[in-house]
Chain A
Amino acid sequence: MTHVSAPSWKARQPLPRSTWVLAIILVVGWIFLPGFSSIDNATNVLRVAAILALATYGQTIVLISGGIEFSIGSSVALCSVTSVLALQYWPIGPAFLVGFVTILAVGIINGLLISYLRLSAFLVTLGMLLLVHGLAAIVVGGLPVEAPDREGIHALSGGAVLGIPVPVLLAAAGAILLHLLLERTILGRSWFLIGSSAPAAEMTGIKVGRIVFLAYFVAACFVGLAGLILTSRVAAGEPNLYPTLPFESMAACAIGGIPLSGGRGSALNAVIGVLVIAVLNNAIVLLNYPAYTQLALLGVIMIGAVMAQGFPALKSLSWSRSR
C-alpha cells in the first residue's frame, strides 16, 4: 500500500480495461488468422496506425485540458492541398512546411477563439471543420490535385530507417514526447489542472487563457505531422482526405480510457486506444469483411469501452424524483 517506490502525482491507475480487448484480439488473431502475426502484417498495421496515433495525441491534449477538437478532419485535407500546390513551385521541404503551417494556423485560430474569446470548443472546432473543408474544396475546385512527380515525395509515409517505417518512428517518438509533456512539465500539469477545474486553476495563479491556447497549438503540431504523412502517402491535394479523423481520434481516446470530461488521461491511454482500432481494422480486412463492417464494429467497441469505465452517473440520481 505504500507509494514510496513509484512517486507519481496521479492517482494510481490500473492499465486501461481496453488493454484486455487488445490482448484478446491479438491472441485470437494470432491463432485463427493466417498472416496476422507475420512481421509484414505487423509493420503494415503500425504504419497505418501511425497517422491516427499522431492525431490522437493532439486530441488527447485537448481533451485533458477540457476541450474537444473536430477541425482536424479537414485541416489535414487543407494541409494536403496547400503542400501540393506549393510543390509546383518549391522543393519538398519548404512545400511540406507550408502544409504544416496550414494546420498550425487552424490550431492557432481555434486556440485564440476558445481561450481568449471563451467560445465553446465544441462549436468553434465544428465550425472550423466545415469552414476549412469548404476552403480546401474551393482552392482546388472540388477535385483532387495530383502532386507533381517528385522523387522522395513518398519518403515520409513509405520510407524506413533500420527496417522501421518512418511513420512508426514518428508515432513512437510522439508518444514519448507526449508522455514527457503530460507527466513532467508545468505545461502538461496545467492542462490537467484546467481540465479538472478551470476556476480553481485560475485561483492558483495559472494563466488559463494562455495554457488553453497552447493546448490547441501543441495539438496542431502533432496533427501537422499526421497531415504531412497523409499527404506523402496520397501524393495529392485531396479536399476530402480523412473526414472521419476527429471521430476516430475521439474513439481512440474513449477506448483508451480518456474521459470527455477533461482532467484525466495519459499517452499510454492514447496508444492503447489507437492500437485497438488499428488491430481490429486489420483483422476485419484479413477476414475479407467489407469496410463498413469495420465502422459498425468500431462503434460497438467504442460504446463497450465507455461502458467498461463504469456507470458513475447511475449512482447520482438524487436530482431526479425522490422516492
Chain B
Amino acid sequence: MESARDTALPLANVDSLAAASAIVHDAVDTTPSEPVLEVRSVVKNYGSTRALQGADLVLRAGRIHALMGENGAGKSTLVKILVGATAPSAGTITLHGRTVKFAGVADAIAAGIVPIYQQSTLFSNLTVLENLFGFEIATRPGFANFNNAKRRLLAQCMLDRIGLAVELDRPVASLSLGEKQLLEIARGLGRECKVLVLDEPTAALSQADTSRLFSTLRRLAEHSVAILYISHKTDEIQKIADEITVLRDGVSVLAAAPLKSTSIQSIVNAMVGHAFNVGEKNLPAVAAPVLTLDRATRAVGDPEVSLVVRRSEILGIAGLAGSGAEDIGAILAGALPCVSGTLHIDGQPLNCLGDRAAAVSAGIGYVPPDRIANGLFPRHIALLNASASILAHLSRFGWINRRKEIARLSQVLANVRLTPNEPWRLIEEFSGGNQQKILLARNLALVGIKALVLVEPTRGVDVGARDVIHEQIMAAARNGSAIALVSTDLEELTSLSHRIVIVRGRRIATELPHLSTPSVVAKAMLGEI
C-alpha cells in the first residue's frame, strides 16, 4: 500500500511540474499582466488601535512588487493578512478574481501564497531532501519513505528550478544562509505557487548570496510567479522590483507605482509624510558630558564606536534593523559585552564588558527593545515589576521596607499615568503601552540616575502612552539625565533629539543636527546621504 502511494505521487508531481513550466513559458509571451492577487481597502483593528485603515495592494503575474513603509506603518500586518496568519477586520482579498478568506497559514499556502520568512523555518537537523518534503511529512499521516529514486528525482527538479546546487543528503545545518533561503524558496515552490512573499530576505545575506537570490527571483518572475518583496533597502528595491507600494499609517500612499518612473525622493516622502512639526518641543540646555563611550568594539573585526552623551541631552541613535543601532544602545547601558573599548560615566570608568549590575549602581537606566523577552516579569504585579532595579535602596541589611517600596513606586507609577492605576494588577493585564510605562517607571525610580538608555521605547504602543513616554523622557532630560534614544520612529527621533547619530553597518556613519526633517533622517539611514 505504502509503495503504491509512493510511486503514484512523485510521478504525478514530476509530470505536473514539467507541464506547469511548459505552460508558464507559453504564458510569458502573452502576459497582459492580469492581477493575481488584489487586496482592496483592507482594515485591521487590534483592540482600539487601527493597524491598517484601507490598504490596497495589487500583485501581477511575472512582476516583482516592492512593499515599503516605516516601522508601524502596517507592513507586517498586511503581510500577516496575505499569508493567512490573521484575518482582516474589513476589506476584500481576491485571488485570480475569486474572493478568498484564509482560515490559516496552511490554507493560504494551499491556495498558492507561499511565505518566506526572515527566520528560517527549515529543520536544521534534517537533510536537504527531507526538508524539501517537510510540508508533506507534516500533512500526511502514517509512514512514508521519502528517500527513493523518484523522490530524489523530483527533489533534484525542485532545486534545479531555482538554480540551487547542493547535495540532497547534506544536513541543512551545513548550508550557508543564502543556500538556506533558496532551499526555503524551493520548498515553497514544490507545491503550486502563485504568489511568493519575501519578508526582508536579504537582512542576513552576504553580497554573493543576495545577487544569487535576485537572479532566482528574476527567473521565477519570468515563470509568471507574482513576487511580493518587503525591504527597507532602497538600493535593492531599485535593482530588483518592477512596482512599489508604500504604506504609511495603515494606508497605501503609493499604490503599485511603476518603479521606473518613481524617484527615491518620492518614495521617501511617501514613507515619512510631511505632517510633522519638527522642533515644536522645548529641549533643555545641554551641559557637560555624562556618558562617554570610547572606541567600543562588539566583536573582533567590528568597527569601533565612540559616542558622548551630555547632561540634559537627548541623543538620537538611528539605524535600520540590523544596522547595529540597538547594540550601541545596549553597550551604553552595560548590557552587552565588548571585546575592547571603555565606557565612562561622569568621568568614572565602568567596565564595558556588559556588567549590567555595575551600570545600574552607577545610575544608568535601560529600557530594552524587547519588553517581553528582556523587560517584564510575567505573572507578577506592576509594583514588583517597577521596583526591581531599586531593591537595594528600599532595604536595610537586605531587608526590604515594603511600606517604602509601596509609597515610592505608587508615586512613580502615578507619574507615568499608569492606566488603570492599580499597582497590584498582574503585568499581563496591562496594555502594551502601559507595560512600557512600567518599564520606564522602573528606570525613572533609580536613585541617583545619571543616564537613561531607551531602545524603541514606543514600539507597538498606542498614541496616549507614546505621549506620556515622550513627556517623561523630556522631564528626565530637564532633570539632568543624559539620554540615549535608539529608535526607528523618525517623528520621535526628530522631535525629541538634540542631535541624531546615524548607524550604518555597525558604525556611526554621520551625525545630524536638531531640527533635521524625518525625510533627511530616513535618507541618511538608507545611505542616500
User: Could you tell me which A residues sit within 8 Å of B by CB distance?
Assistant: 3, 7-12, 184-187, 189-190, 192-193, 196-197, 199-207, 263-264, 321-323
**15 more A-B residue pairs beyond the given contacts A202-B335, A203-B366, A207-B357, with a C-beta to C-beta distance below 8 A:** A3-B424, A9-B384, A10-B380, A11-B381, A186-B400, A189-B400, A192-B384, A200-B388, A201-B388, A203-B368, A204-B442, A205-B359, A321-B106, A322-B106, A323-B104
- With A200-B374, A263-B380 in contact, do A9 and B387 touch (Cβ < 8 Å)? yes
Minimal beta-carbon separation of A294 from chain B (angstroms): 34
Given the known inter-chain contacts A202-B356, A207-B357, please indicate yes or no for A190 contacting B374, CB distance below 8 A.
Answer: no
Question: B377 contacts the other chain (Cβ, under 8 Å)?
Answer: yes
Answer whether residue B257 sits at the interface, using C-beta atoms and an 8 A cutoff: no
Q: Is B103 an interface residue (CB 8 A)?
A: yes
- How far is it, in angstroms, between the C-alpha of A260 and the C-alpha of B323 when the chains are bound? 39
Q: A7 — which chain B residues lie within 8 A by C-beta? A: 402-403, 406
Instruction: With A185-B400, A199-B374 as known contacts, state yes or no: A11 contacts B426, CB within 8 Å.
Output: yes
Residues of B within 8 A of A203 (CB): 335, 356, 366, 368, 374-375
Inter-chain CA distance A125–B415, complex, in Å, is: 46
Q: Is the CB of B395 within 8 A of A186?
A: yes
Q: B398 and A187: CB pair below 8 A?
A: yes
Q: Which residue of B lies closest to A264 (CB)?
A: B379
- Pick the contact of A9: B107, B359, B379, B381 (CB < 8 A): B381
Q: Is the interface of A mostly helix, strand, loop or mixed?
A: loop
Contact yes or no, B395 A205, CB < 8 A? no
B391 within 8 A of A: yes
5 pairs, A vs B, C-beta closer than 8 Å: A7-B406, A184-B399, A205-B361, A205-B389, A322-B103
User: How far apart are B85's CB and chain A's nearest CB, in angstroms?
Assistant: 9
Once the chains are docked, how many angstroms separate the CA of A207 from the CA of B103? 46
Bound: A199/B366 CA distance, A: 13
Check: B378 CB closer than 8 A to any chain A CB: yes
C-alpha spacing A185/B359, complex, angstroms:
22
Complex-state Cα separation, A190 to B394, whole angstroms: 14
Q: B107 — which chain A residues lie within 8 A by C-beta?
A: 322
Chain B interface, number of residues (Cβ within 8 angstroms): 41
**B509 adjacent to chain A (CB < 8 Å):** no
Instruction: Please tell me if the beta carbons of B373 and A184 are within 8 angstroms of each other in the complex.
Output: no
For residue B405, CB closer than 8 A to chain A, the reply is yes
B81-108 CB contacts (< 8 Å) to partner A: 84, 103-107
Given known A-B contacts A203-B335, A204-B360, A322-B104, A9 and B388 have beta carbons under 8 A apart: no
A205 & B356 in contact (Cβ 8 Å cutoff): yes
Residues of B near A322 (CB, < 8 A) are 84, 103-107
- Asked if B383 is at the interface of the complex by the 8 Å CB criterion, the answer is yes
Closest to A3 in B: B424
Cβ 8 A contact of A12, one of B84, B106, B380, B424: B424
> Which residues of chain B are within 8 angstroms of A192 by Cβ–Cβ distance?
377, 380, 384
Indicate whether B512 reaches chain A with its CB closer than 8 angstroms. no
* Chain B residues near A (Cβ < 8 Å): 84, 103-107, 335, 356-357, 359-361, 366, 368, 373-381, 383-384, 387-389, 391-392, 395, 398-400, 402-403, 405-406, 424, 426, 442
Residues of A within 8 A of B378 (CB): 196-197, 263
Report whether A10 and B400 are in contact in the complex, using a CB–CB cutoff of 8 Å: no
Return chain A residues, CB-CB under 8 Å to B391.
186, 189-190
Across the interface, A185 reaches (CB within 8 A) one of B389, B399, B442, namely B399
Q: Known: A9-B383, A263-B377, A322-B103. Contact between A204 and B388, CB under 8 A?
A: yes
Chain B residues contacting A10 (CB-CB under 8 Å) are 380-381, 384
Partner of A200 from the list B376, B398, B426 (CB cut-off 8 Å) is: B376
Residue of A nearest to B360 (CB): A205
B368 — nearest CB in chain A belongs to which residue? Answer: A203
Complex Cα distance A322/B103, Å?
A: 7
A197 x B376 contact (CB < 8 A): yes
A115 to chain B, nearest CB (A): 14
CB-CB < 8 A to B395: which residues of A? 185-186
A200 vs B380: C-alpha distance when bound (angstroms) = 13
Closest to B395 in A: A186
How far, in angstroms, from A104 to B377 measured CA to CA in the complex? 30
A11, A187, A263, A323: which contacts B424 (Cβ < 8 A)?
A11
Query: A205 contacts which chain B residues (CB < 8 A)?
Result: 356-357, 359-361, 389
Chain A neighbourhood of B366, CB < 8 A: 203
Give Cα A204 to B335, complex, Å.
10
A287 to B448, CA, bound (A): 65
User: What's the nearest-Cβ distance from chain A to residue B326, in Å?
Assistant: 14
Chain B residues within an 8 Å CB radius of A199: 373-374
The listed residue with most B CB atoms (<10 A of its CB), out of A200, A202, A204, is A204
Q: Report the bound CA distance from A11 to B377 in whole Å.
A: 12
Is the pair B381, A186 in contact by a Cβ cutoff of 8 Å? no
Chain A residues with CB under 8 A of B335: 202-203
Docked Cα-Cα span, A205 to B405, in Å, equals 17
Q: Which residues of B contact A187 (CB under 8 A)?
A: 398
Measured CA separation A189–B387 after assembly (Å): 10
CB of B436, distance to nearest CB on chain A (Å): 14
Measured CA separation A12–B395 after assembly (Å): 23
Chain B residues whose CB sits within 8 angstroms of the CB of A263 once the complex forms: 377-380
Tell me how far the C-beta of B403 lies from the nearest C-beta in chain A, rounded to whole angstroms: 7
Q: Looking at the complex, which one of B356, B361, B392 makes contact with A186 (CB distance below 8 Å)? A: B392
Cβ A193 vs Cβ B377 within 8 A: yes
Residue of B nearest to A7 (CB): B406
- The closest CB in chain A to the CB of B405 belongs to A9
B379 touches A11 (CB 8 A): yes
**Ranked 4 nearest A-B pairs via Cβ:** A322-B104, A205-B360, A204-B388, A196-B377
- Interface hub of B103, B106, B391, B403 (most chain A Cβ within 10 A): B391
- Among A184, A196, A204, A206, point to the contact of B380 (Cβ < 8 A): A196
Bound-state Cα–Cα, A202 to B359, Å: 11
